[in-house]
Amino acid sequence: MIKYAATRLLGMVPTVLILLFLAVVMIDFIPGDIVDLMMEGNPSPEHRAEIETALGLDRSLVVRYVEYVRGLLVGDFGTSLWNKQPILPELLRRVPVTIEIAILATVIGTATGVLLGVLSALRQDGPLDYVLRSISILGISFPSFAIATLVVIMPAIWWGVSPTLRYVGFREDPLGHLMIILVPSIVLSFNLTASIMRLSRTTMLDVLRQDYIRTARAKGLTTSQVMLRHALKNAMIPVITLTGLQIAFLIGGSVIVESVFVIPGLGRYLLTAVNQRDYPAFQAIVVLLGIFVMGVNLLVDLSYAWFDPRIRMS
């Protein structure tokens, strides 16, 4: 298992290097003159030279890439062009918030989706099955930002009550903190729940038709014992795959959801950096989110080996 994990970890290195190269080179592909865009078309020669130096535009692409990688290795994510402060402390302040919401959304979405998928499979073609399948289609079709907007607006329209949109830190008020991040986590998990519910139903129906399930039932095992001991574990591998892939969509959805609920996470920081044309901050956030998604995919690969020993044996 350790050898398998080390192999997968080493396989991430080329991907990380490619990600860093794209983060460095993307500035060159922004339409127009980037300095004119940042200074609204009227930069003075001094300001132009300052910005070009900060962005590395006065150096070759290879030099910029080597310097950027070297800086990341010592924890230097650059300096914000907006407030002239190092970017790393701001990232460290916001990363736990986004990870907390992403993990909570993943747990809620996966647990709820698997539960509903199993219930739908056990009640195949029944009223409950049709209701759950219809809800799942609605859940897949509705984007997270639309759900977040409705959650904020509809209570005010119907009951004249607006939700509290003030972030509270965990150390300040643990219960209040949980209540603040719970709503955006549920909003983010809605699409994930629908997707996992549909996949869980499909894979569970396939597993329940296998011969070893019939054998288990013939031995006198109850439905609960069959599901927990045999069916559920074998049906989880495709679900794990989908969950890992959906992490990237959760991060993308957090950009708008964190802004709607005034959550000081990476998603809101990314949107602020784009609006302020703070390209070093934007660059650092893209790199960090990319590495985070790769780390999640690594955990997904390792979970394959736990669920299916044939993978780690190969």
Answer whether residue 41 shows pLDDT above 70: no
Residues 127 and 270 in one domain: yes
Residues 169 and 223 in one domain: yes
Mean pLDDT of the chain: 81
- Give CA–CA dist 186/150, Å, rounded: 13
Residues 30 and 42 in one domain: yes
pLDDT on residue 312: 55
Domain for residue 55, yes or no?
A: yes
Residues 120 and 29 in one domain: no
Mean pLDDT over residues 273-279, rounded? 80
Residues 21 and 127 in one domain: no
The parent domain of residue 249 ranges over: 95-275
Domain for residue 89, yes or no?
A: no
Mean pLDDT over residues 224-231, rounded? 76
Report residue 56: phi and psi, to 5°: 80, 15
pTM of the model: 0.78
**pLDDT tens figures, 133-182:** 888 888 888 887 788 888 888 877 777 766 666 777 778 888 888 888 88
Domain for residue 88, yes or no?
A: no
pLDDT on residue 108: 92
- Between 31 and 276, the more confident residue is 276
Task: Report the number of distinct structural domains present in the chain.
Answer: 2
Residues 204 and 120 in one domain: yes
Residues 159 and 146 in one domain: yes
Q: Which of 256, 275, 102, 261 is nearest to 183 (CA)?
A: 261
Domain for residue 87, yes or no?
A: no
Domain for residue 158, yes or no?
A: yes
- DSSP 8-state assignment for residue 31: S
Among 130-139, 225-234, 264-273, 281-290, where is mean pLDDT lowest?
225-234
Residues 107 and 150 in one domain: yes
Domain for residue 90, yes or no?
A: no
Helix axes 279-307, 45-55, angle to 10 degrees: 20
**CATH at residue 250:** 1.10.3720.10
Domain for residue 75, yes or no?
A: yes
Residues 281 and 269 in one domain: no
Residues 68 and 181 in one domain: no
Residues 211 and 293 in one domain: no
Using alpha carbons, list the distances in angstroms from residue 65 to 13, 16, 110, 284.
15, 13, 39, 13
Residues 185 and 75 in one domain: no
Work out the pLDDT band at 308, boundaries 50, 70, 90: low
pLDDT on residue 280: 85
